[in-house]
Structure 1
Amino acid sequence: MSNTAPSPGPAGVTAADLTIGYSSLTDRVRTIEVPTSAKAAEVLILTQRRPGAPDAVVPRALEERASVVALDSLGVAKSRNAAISMAGRTYLLFGDDDVAIYLKGVLDAARHLERTGAALALGCAVDDSRRTRGRRSARAQRLTLRNSGRAATYLMLIDVEQVRSSGVRFDERFGAGMPNYLGDEYIFIADLLRAGLRCDAVPFVVGMHPSHSSGALWSIGRDLPARAAAIERAWGSRAMIPKAAIAAKNWGKIRNVRAAAAFVFRRHFTDAS
């Protein structure tokens, strides 16, 4: 009998292959809870301070567990890009300070990446009542511009080397902290797809997030222009078609002919902005 151990297959992926990159404002760092089951994972906490806010107060247990890096910037996309640059493990999960991470689902998603060669896996989440947020398919499926518009960053697990090699990063003109505060996740997926990388939605629950999220924002004055700008950035010159489809599908939330027309026909974003 040979004493040589077999090479580990996809099931050999462990927490030691994982970086969890939390993005947090300084006044919310203390709410971060790293799962105890992820002791072998690398943990990064990337903090940003709003004007007038205090510096981060990091609980000792969290400081001993994680690398805490204060960024001299605002905008969650900048924080996500810092996580991509700093991650030291094979896979990177983007965490938020209000998300509870379910390690089993994250590792199942990582095994999917290893098995398929995909660059990004978009998992599922439950809300604070343990109900599934959004739709959850029974099996993995390819992401496209048409089915990834409701992606959330805290559901994203990436193959770090593939993403780094592609040169794709989050568009720092979008996301929380920027005037165009919606759609940074959608644009990131769109850019990965344009770079020829495979992105999949997977049926694994990777975390719990409270019911409220920016994806539910539909106010006429601020949310519609920000949403339109993200669609235009993702789709380019073809954006009018998906904007019209989205306006029709969500008419019950808009209920204003003039605002719907402006959403569809007005140009809300240019690359020079």
Structure 2
Amino acid sequence: MVDQNDLKASLLDALGRRVRALRLEAGLSVKDFAALAALSPRFVHQLESGIGNISIAGLARASVALGRSLVELAPPLADDHSLRAEIWRLLADSGNEDLVEFQQWLRQRTGRTANARFIALIGLRGAGKSTVGPLLAKRLKTEFVEVDRWVEEAADMSLGEVFETHGEAYYRRLERESIQRLFGSSTGCVVATGGSVVSDAETWESIKRRCFTVWLHATPEEFMRRMRKQGDLRPMQGRPSAMEELKALLARREPLYAESKLKIHTTQKPPVAIVTQIVKAVAASKK
């Protein structure tokens, strides 16, 4: 007969080690994780040490804070060698590419259609899309795609060369085709759009229909500071009124950006906190 105290201790130990591993993988401190999961830092320490007996509701909050499904937090016992336990371990150790391939195989075998889920990051250049995007994709175990990279590949030249050689209309066409190709070929991903994507009504409507849209917002001063820090001086070179032009551009686009499902003020907010905010909003939208 199984000793219930031993069973409880084994469960809590496995759960604690799993939560700690996922928290570290997400780049969250104990304090940040505790705040996001509505737990005390002391209890988080107890949980990760294998002595904190968390409720199902608390575990659900922890899973949202980590950007994981609830079942990912509760590993099978070490002496459980059942088929489903072994599959759980294999899935837990698999990378994104293996998981996507396995998902596609199962859907084909069972005849289930894919319910694609796209998260589109919207905002001006310097909003943080290229920083937040990969972190968010990693947290959600999905792919990260930058539309402008697809445009460059299609044109076989840099964005600057695309505009200089062929003009904005050509860029818009490649952008529209790239996004349509993405929606037609992917089972879901995190996608960073160009800052001007909202200027193309057809493309923007398509994105709003297919994606959970996130507007990464910052002040004009913050945008300019980030571009300088990245060594991108193009907006300022030979243009003494660059700041006023940037403010005017943001003012024109803000009403369109505001159509996004989620707006995040990114100024002085660490990327990990932004990722967690998006994960929680996406999870809430599924309820």
Normalising TM by the smaller chain, what interval? under 0.3
TM-score (normalised: structure 1): 0.26
The higher radius of gyration belongs to 2
TM-score using structure 2 length:
0.25
